[in-house]
Homo-oligomer: A and B are copies of this chain.
C-alpha cells in the first residue's frame, strides 16, 4: 500500500466564506497541497515533474463531506497514492479533526500530461515508484456524472491572469467557484454539501470565456445540482453536487 503523508493546519478566515465554513475550492487546494508536499519529500515534486517535461493533471474528484471544517478549526490533512495502471493513478485524501474524526474524504484520478503535445502520456516508473502504490492492471470504475441536463441558470466568466497556474491553464480549484456561484446566496447559506463528483474534460486557458451552467433537482428523495463549464464548443468540466 502507498506511503501516507499528513500535515496539520488551522483554518484561517480568508479560507472561509460568509458562513465561516471553508470554501470548497480552497479545501480541495489544501488536500492537493498534501500530495504536492509528499512529492517534494519523495524527490518527485512539481519541479522535477516539470523538468522531465510533464505535469500532473486531475481528471476526476469524488468528494465526500461529513462535516465541513470551520474557521479556526485545527485539522489534519492526509493523502496516499492508492494504486495505478498504465495511464491512471488513484490517490486518496482525507481531512480529520484533532480527535481523529473523519470530516472529509476525497478520491482523485491523476494522469500525466506531456508538455510537448499537451496529451496524456503513459505513466513513468521514475515518477510513480517512490510513492510505493500498488500496480493494478484493472481500470478502477468511478461513478460518472450525468451528461444530460436542463440548464436553469447560466453565468459567464472570463479567465483572469490570477486564475491560471504554472501549467498555464485554469487551476482545478477555480472550477468550484464558477460552479457554486450559479446557485444563489440563500441556497448557499442554507444548504450543506454532502458529495461532489467532478470530471475535468478540457483545459481552459487565459482570456477564454466560459459559461457556468446549472440545473437544480429537488424532490422527495434527493437534492442535487448538475453543473457544466462550457468553453465555446468544448465542455471543460461537468459535476454533480449532492446537498443535505
Using a CB–CB distance below 8 Å, which chain A residues touch chain B? Answer: 12-14, 16-18, 20, 23, 25, 29, 32-33, 36, 40, 46-47, 71-72, 155, 158, 160-162, 164-166, 168, 171, 173, 177, 180-181, 183, 185, 188, 206-207
Q: How far is the CA of A190 from the CA of B177 in the complex (A)?
A: 28
- Contact at B161–A181, with CB atoms within 8 Å? yes
- On whether A18 and B166 interact (CB within 8 A), knowing A161-B188, A185-B207, the answer reads yes
Number of copies: 2
- Contact at A18–B180, with CB atoms within 8 Å? no
- On whether A160 and B181 interact (CB within 8 A), knowing A46-B13, A168-B18, the answer reads yes
Q: Chain A interface mostly helix, strand, loop or mixed?
A: mixed
Report B-chain residues with C-beta under 8 Å of the C-beta of A12.
Answer: 33, 36
Q: Distance (Å) between the CB of A129 and the closest chain B CB? A: 23
- Contact at A17–B165, with CB atoms within 8 Å? yes
Chain B residue with minimal CB distance to A28? B14
